[in-house]
Structure 1
Amino acid sequence: MKTLLIILSFLISTISFAQETIFKGNPDTAFEVARKMAFNKQREQAQDSLLFILTKYPNYHDIRSFLATTYSWDGHYQKAKKEFDYVLKKSPKRLDTWQAAIKNELWSSAPTSALQMTNEALKHLPNNPDILYLKASAQDNLNRPEEALKTLENSLALNPNHEKTKAYKISLKNKLSLNTIGFKAAVDLYSEVFDPMQYYLLKYIRATKYGSIHGKININHRFQSTGAQFEIDMYPRIANGLYAYLNFGVSNSFLFPDIRYGAELHQSLPKGFEASLGFRGLKFSTTTIIYTGSIGWYNKNNYWSFRSYVTPGEPSASMSGTLSFRKYGRDANNFFSIDVGAGFSPEENRFNFGGNENTIINLQSQKFNLGYYFSSKNNNNLWGAQAGVSHQEISFNPGSYFWIYSFSLSWDFLFK
């Protein structure tokens, strides 16, 4: 009720002085009302009010700085810069204004200007950790991550408890870790028919400016035999928001397809969405082509995705789908996952079908998986654990099912 009266009073005052060119009210009260309007989706009205107050109080720096910030929110970066410059020339030790002004340059894709502003700000606010943080951001935006890391390290030497800087340093070191080696071990336990099946993966990843390259060795122990498959995955960047997935693998073991290959395009979409479309090819006794696509959505720390596989065959095509959810922690390496799926796909069940592809790909199957992935404090070591259960139709006894209990552990090590 009090807020409503303040707003009504301010509106009446504004109407009363509509013909005036100079503000005559209480600037503090008017500023409070204008702020509420700005945060209540009445941005233009708030900006008009702030400008009107400044006709009488041009050096009320809190008002002018807030006005500039609202311009920046709206993408009017040059208007914001003009107001920020006015304030900083009059009062160059205003930390909040320096921060907002530098962020305005970063948001306007002007990292060079942002870097110059951080250097100027540090003359007035020496060794300030918030300004040094923004300086590292500008250097990182200029594709100078090594310089950014040095800035962060220097800042932490003077301000060891600055949490944002510590988190940024970890993230940047992770970005500069161009090499990864990893190992994964998994086992499937069957309720009947089959003995336990063991899976091992050894991988090496190299990040390049064109995208990452993954070399992998898959080793399986099944049916009292052990076999290996050699694969290479590539994720080339094509354009902003668009990248591809390319795959090729070979094996001389009956436990794997003789040859596998695939390609897929991934495109970022507005409002946190992304989509992909591609195919996989698996050469067993004959070649099986699988078409796949996905849709994903990032919402704050949550990620939802649905992927489907369609495998043409007789008497009809086989379809499978998996709905996945991830809840992220402090970064992309720390998350909890849930996967729920139905249908059988030879892409997800990679083994030789012995000429029975058309029969096996139409098997009924349901699955449920839980996963937990976390990293060391410096993000150099990444660990993962997953457990799941599947209810799958038996290929040689249609209509009958067995249970498959799956467990896996993984470890990745990142280094320069």
Structure 2
Amino acid sequence: MNKIATIIVFTLLVLDCFSQSTESSYEQVKQLAKEKKYDQAEKLCKEILAKTDDGDVRFYLGLIYSWSGRYDDARNEFQKLEQTRPNSLELTNAQYNVEYWSGDYSAAITILDKSISKNPNELDLLIKKAKMLNNLGKRKEASATIEKVLNKDPASLEARLVYAQIKNSNTQNTISANFTYDFFSDSTNPWYFSYLQYSRKTRIGTVIGRVNYANRFNSNGFQAEADSYLSFWKGGYTYANIGFSGSSIFPDFRCGLEYYHNLPHSFEASLGFRYMKFSSSDVLLYTGTVGKYYKSYWFSIRPQFRFRNGDVSYSFKLASRRYFSDPETYIGVEVNFGTAPDFDHQNIDYSYLARLKSWGAKIVYSQRLGQLWVISSKVGFDRNEIIKNSYRNQYTLDVTIAKSF
């Protein structure tokens, strides 16, 4: 009997030591993840799981994969936990985040619906579902879902904000007014630019009409432009531009075309061109983008290339944004450098500046005011080489006000 008791006590001590060791390793995993040392945290999780199938460790491994953007691996780990944690809201939210961050809103709704059927009084799940429905353009279903939340909790600030976003997304028309002021470190007179723009949402995208005004080089001028962002099939959309002007400070004619396509893991890529015809020259630029959404952040890089008489000029624009409560509220940074001017921004014939260096940066801020107004602004600095080894600083202030109806 004493031998049996000894064996039992010894076994309990071993199990207790193993439990303490696992718990210590698990705390180490969380600390490594907190320090964003995901590779080390993943390795330690796998070492623990090789010894015991610990649900908490497996769940945390799934979180590490999702934070690292390895969404398929995260899905696999979370699916293994569905049978042992069928009613876990923590697991539901982790799976929802994977689909939301990867841009698969339909899959996110499927996950939410499973949990809502078991937890009908969890209003946070209904709020998330309303957001996803709105992202998919299902406005009526989104409105009905968020109204369920407001009927149960009229004081919910988050639900009221989502409701306002849904109602605002139902507006089809927007009028925008812009004013841009550029001044320089040398004797160049300030430049003034402004536009009045009308845009309308259609079943297949957005069409835009715009009248530009500029005062540069002691001359005034107007330009008429039209843009469109149209989606003809799932997974992509096309940008098109055309413009005309009789003023010497704008191109006589300009056009552009670019196709954007959604890629796995919240990436987006595009390829296109811009063409401008001036009285004394023409400009053809090849361009494109690679963009990435990560949680509430967006990153992109846009190159532009011009090939002329065996010479190549180029520019690169790097951009990043941090979104807040809605797509119109964000703060961002833009950095540009290269030997080809930013023709989309300047809209001026800079052929005589070919292969001269330039670089600059802008801080961008946009804020929704109420349900229908948006104000955005940019503050920028550019340093341009206008003659060999001769530089000029350019400072930019830009403000845009838009109202939807």
TM over 0.5: yes
- Report if the CA contact (8 A) 1:311-1:361 is conserved: no
Report the counterpart of residue 28 of structure 1 in structure 2. none
- Report the identity percentage: 26
Return the index of the structure with the highest Cα Rg. Answer: 1
Q: CA deviation at 1:328?
A: 2.1
Q: CA deviation at 1:174?
A: 3.0
Taking a change above 3 Å as real, the CA distance of residues 150 and 329 of structure 1, as seen in their structure-2 partners, is same
Following the alignment from structure 1 to structure 2, what is the Cα–Cα distance between the partners of residues 95 and 349? 50
- Report if the CA contact (8 A) 1:7-1:33 is conserved: no
Following the alignment from structure 2 to structure 1, what is the Cα–Cα distance between the partners of residues 157 and 115? 23
Q: What CA deviation, in whole Å up to 9, does each residue of 1:191-238 have, x standing for no partner?
A: 223211100021111112211111111110112221111111111113
Following the alignment from structure 2 to structure 1, what is the Cα–Cα distance between the partners of residues 216 and 309? 28
- Report if the CA contact (8 A) 1:112-1:138 is conserved: no
Please state if 1:331 is matched with 2:326. Answer: yes
Taking a change above 3 Å as real, the CA distance of residues 323 and 352 of structure 1, as seen in their structure-2 partners, is closer
Report the counterpart of residue 191 of structure 2 in structure 1. 197
Please state if 1:254 is matched with 2:248. Answer: yes
The equivalences for 1:261-280 within 5 A come to: 261-280=255-274
- Report if the CA contact (8 A) 2:89-2:115 is conserved: no
The equivalences for 1:31-110 within 5 A come to: 34-41=54-61, 73-74=75-76
The equivalences for 1:209-228 within 5 A come to: 209-228=203-222
Report the counterpart of residue 156 of structure 1 in structure 2. 150
Following the alignment from structure 1 to structure 2, what is the Cα–Cα distance between the partners of residues 406 and 382? 20
Taking a change above 3 Å as real, the CA distance of residues 159 and 42 of structure 1, as seen in their structure-2 partners, is closer
Please state if 1:178 is matched with 2:191. Answer: no
Q: CA deviation at 1:39?
A: 1.2
Following the alignment from structure 1 to structure 2, what is the Cα–Cα distance between the partners of residues 264 and 42? 37
Taking a change above 3 Å as real, the CA distance of residues 4 and 142 of structure 1, as seen in their structure-2 partners, is farther
- Report if the CA contact (8 A) 2:305-2:340 is conserved: no
Please state if 1:405 is matched with 2:395. Answer: yes
- Report if the CA contact (8 A) 2:185-2:394 is conserved: yes
Q: CA deviation at 1:135?
A: 6.9
Q: CA deviation at 1:111?
A: 6.7
Following the alignment from structure 2 to structure 1, what is the Cα–Cα distance between the partners of residues 363 and 129? 40
- Report if the CA contact (8 A) 2:62-2:75 is conserved: no
SS of residue matched to 2:250: coil
Report the counterpart of residue 284 of structure 2 in structure 1. 289
User: What is the number of equivalent residue pairs in this alignment?
Assistant: 347
Q: What CA deviation, in whole Å up to 9, does each residue of 1:21-49 have, x standing for no partner?
A: xxxxxxxxxxx974324314499xxxxxx
Taking a change above 3 Å as real, the CA distance of residues 291 and 135 of structure 1, as seen in their structure-2 partners, is closer
- Report if the CA contact (8 A) 2:288-2:303 is conserved: yes
Root mean square deviation, CA, Å: 4.1
Taking a change above 3 Å as real, the CA distance of residues 165 and 310 of structure 1, as seen in their structure-2 partners, is same
- Report if the CA contact (8 A) 2:112-2:125 is conserved: no
Residue type of the partner of 1:400?
S
Taking a change above 3 Å as real, the CA distance of residues 172 and 3 of structure 1, as seen in their structure-2 partners, is farther
Following the alignment from structure 2 to structure 1, what is the Cα–Cα distance between the partners of residues 403 and 358? 34
Following the alignment from structure 1 to structure 2, what is the Cα–Cα distance between the partners of residues 138 and 390? 40
- Report if the CA contact (8 A) 2:62-2:77 is conserved: no
User: Which of 13, 19, 28 is residue 6 of structure 1 equivalent to?
Assistant: 19
User: Which of 230, 235, 240 is residue 234 of structure 2 equivalent to?
Assistant: 240
SS of residue matched to 2:159: helix
Residue type of the partner of 1:5?
F
Report the counterpart of residue 345 of structure 1 in structure 2. 341
Following the alignment from structure 2 to structure 1, what is the Cα–Cα distance between the partners of residues 330 and 136? 30
Please state if 1:169 is matched with 2:170. Answer: no
SS of residue matched to 2:168: helix
- Report if the CA contact (8 A) 2:105-2:132 is conserved: no
Following the alignment from structure 1 to structure 2, what is the Cα–Cα distance between the partners of residues 2 and 162? 47
Following the alignment from structure 2 to structure 1, what is the Cα–Cα distance between the partners of residues 109 and 266? 24
The equivalences for 1:108-127 within 5 A come to: none
Following the alignment from structure 2 to structure 1, what is the Cα–Cα distance between the partners of residues 60 and 358? 50
Please state if 1:360 is matched with 2:353. Answer: yes
Report the counterpart of residue 47 of structure 1 in structure 2. none
SS of residue matched to 1:312: strand
- Report if the CA contact (8 A) 2:116-2:125 is conserved: yes
Q: Which range is displaced more, 174-183 or 273-282? A: 174-183
Taking a change above 3 Å as real, the CA distance of residues 161 and 306 of structure 1, as seen in their structure-2 partners, is same
Residue type of the partner of 1:224?
N
Q: CA deviation at 1:170?
A: 2.8
Q: CA deviation at 1:277?
A: 1.1
Report the counterpart of residue 362 of structure 2 in structure 1. 369
Report the counterpart of residue 69 of structure 1 in structure 2. none
Report the counterpart of residue 68 of structure 1 in structure 2. none
Report the counterpart of residue 378 of structure 2 in structure 1. 386
Q: CA deviation at 1:258?
A: 0.6
Q: CA deviation at 1:359?
A: 2.6
Q: CA deviation at 1:383?
A: 1.1
